[in-house]
Amino acid sequence: MSRPVPTIPPSFTASGHVRLRLLAVLVTVLWSSSWVLIRKLLDDGDRIPPLTFAGLRYGLAAVALGAWIALRGPVRAPAPLRSLGAGGLAAIAGLGVVQFAITQGAQFVAIDNQPAATTNLLLAATPLLVAAAGTIIGEPMTRRQLIAGAAIIAGSLIYFTGDLGFTAIGLAAALIGLGANAASALYGRAVNRSTHLDAWRLTATTMSVGAAVLVVAGLMIDGVPRVSLTAAAVVAWLAVVNTALAFTWWNICLRRLGAAEMAAINTLMSVQIPVLAWIFLDEAIGVSEAVGITIVAGAVASVAMRRGREADAVTERQASRTPVTSPSGSGHQPVR
């Protein structure tokens, strides 16, 4: 969402590179485990309805991010929100609605209504949809992207010949989440170019807006939920560790490793989620599901790494003219 930091300090050794890779992999494991925890709590007797659940998670995460921002102090003098004007504030609020209220709300509903691996497979096509949407703004798809698109379709068809399947509500919610996720990637790029907030402040602000919309929608649809101690603990863990802390770690890694390498690491989630769902949710993976997931993961990695290398190339050109100190965003994935 914000521009990547291009420079690598001289003290950045090979061992430090390995540690950062491991930290980035740990973040993907945390994000993947979120799917299991969400499904477990949604299936629990004291469950929180999906929209309210999502709103509580991201509302608390926004508070945690805000606390982190206050503690760390500004890397550079940030532009206050009031300086953005009505148009800038409306753009940020709109991004919050799309990126969190619609995208994450739809994802929670999808997870609640069908196997986690099925929803994950559909949402994995986001990079391809972003590339396809780019043709509208004058960024035509490359041959690699067209081949990857065909592979994703083929892998999905193979996957759905298996036993996990889908439900009408789950499929509709996942498709809405897919469209909103791709839209937030393009919209976020435009908002980032038109505002002067760093990645942490922009994320905390949009997350707060999206969380408020989710909570209001959840209360209107499902009423006030009963939150048990177990549910409160799960929501707190998802908000503080799997969202706020993981986002911070991801940006630290992205500042050093670059968008291309981080895009490749992020693709691990396409495999991690089905495996964790198999272990903890009893979502058995048959031969067709495994083959489909492998094909889709490979195709997504191809598209994501290509876009990451392009982002790194642009960053290097910018670095030769102007020093950049803000955390990275071109390769940053929506907070999971």
pLDDT tens digit sequence for 84-134: 777 888 989 999 999 999 999 999 999 999 988 889 888 887 877 877 777
Dump the DSSP string for 263-308.
HHHHTTHHHHHHHHHHHHS-----HHHHHHHHHHHHHHHHHHHHHH
Q: Exposed, middle or buried by CB within 10 Å (0-12, 13-18, 19+), for 135? A: exposed
For helices 126-134 and 143-159, angle between their N-to-C axes, nearest 10 degrees: 140
Q: pLDDT class for 74, splitting at 50, 70, 90?
A: low
What whole-number percentage of the chain has pLDDT above 90? 34
Domain ranges of the chain: 14-319
- Closest by CA position to 17, among listed 258, 185, 235, 222: 258
> Alpha-carbon distance 80 to 188, whole Å?
19
The separation between CA 15 and the C-alpha centre of its own chain, rounded to angstroms, equals: 28
- Closest by CA position to 95, among listed 204, 176, 198, 221: 204
Extract the tokens encoding 211.
Answer: 């969380």
For helices 14-43 and 229-239, angle between their N-to-C axes, nearest 10 degrees: 150
Between these two residues, 182 and 1, which has the higher pLDDT value? 182
pLDDT value at 241 more than 90: yes
The pLDDT score that the predictor gives to residue 298 is 80
pLDDT value at 324 more than 60: no
The pLDDT score that the predictor gives to residue 279 is 93
> Alpha-carbon distance 157 to 137, whole Å?
29
> Alpha-carbon distance 264 to 254, whole Å?
12
Between these two residues, 87 and 238, which has the higher pLDDT value? 238
> Alpha-carbon distance 326 to 7, whole Å?
11
> Alpha-carbon distance 56 to 239, whole Å?
8
CA distances to 24, 186, 221, 291, 321 from 10, rounded to whole Å, are 21, 34, 55, 42, 19
Extract the tokens encoding 127.
Answer: 């990079």
Between these two residues, 222 and 45, which has the higher pLDDT value? 222
Q: What is the value of pTM for the model shown?
A: 0.81
Between these two residues, 125 and 165, which has the higher pLDDT value? 125
Q: How large is the average pLDDT for residues 218-234?
A: 92
